[in-house]
């Protein structure tokens, strides 16, 4: 649970998941992702996602293909994948201030 949340709470891995989902049902080789990091870093992120149970890998010749574990994902964490895949505005929460917050009466 925590593992999954932590796995998902990273911009690179978020992008990986989205590209994987967009390519479904096709499987993507590790080298086919469009990301600004090196191969070794990418490999690390794949390991994290795999250990979190979010994707499966299997070898195809010299390449390694990746596939989302969508079924398990949806079963164990219903709604989370859709959330992750939806590109929501990354900046909505305007609730940064604390002093001016008082809803004891207004109830807002």
Task: Give the CA dihedral 86, 89, 92, 96, nearest 10 degrees.
Answer: 100
- The answer, yes or no, to whether the previous bond of 55 is cis (omega within 30 of 0) is no
Residues in 10-49 that interact with DNA by CB under 7 A: 10, 12, 29-32, 36-48
Q: Does 71 bind a second copy (CB under 8 A)?
A: no
What residue 52 binds from a second copy, DNA, none (CB within 5 to 8 A, per partner kind)?
a second copy
Q: Which stretch binds a second copy (CB under 8 A): 17-25, 28-36, 94-102?
A: 94-102
Task: Give the CA dihedral 13, 2, 89, 31, nearest 10 degrees.
Answer: 10
Binding site for DNA (CB under 7 A): 6, 10, 12, 29-32, 36-48, 57, 59, 61-64, 98
């Amino acid at each position: 649970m925590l593992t999954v949340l932590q796995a998902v709470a990273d911009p690179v891995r978020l992008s990986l998941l989205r590209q994987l989902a967009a390519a479904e049902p096709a499987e993507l080789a590790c080298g086919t992702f469009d990301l600004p990091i090196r191969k070794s870093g990418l490999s690390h992120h794949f390991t994290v996602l795999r250990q979190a149970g979010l994707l499966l890998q299997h070898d195809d010749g010299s390449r390694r293909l990746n596939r989302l574990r969508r079924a398990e994902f949806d079963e164990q964490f219903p709604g989370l994948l859709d959330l992750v895949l939806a590109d929501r505005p990354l900046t909505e929460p305007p609730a940064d201030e604390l002093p001016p917050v008082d809803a004891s009466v207004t109830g807002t």
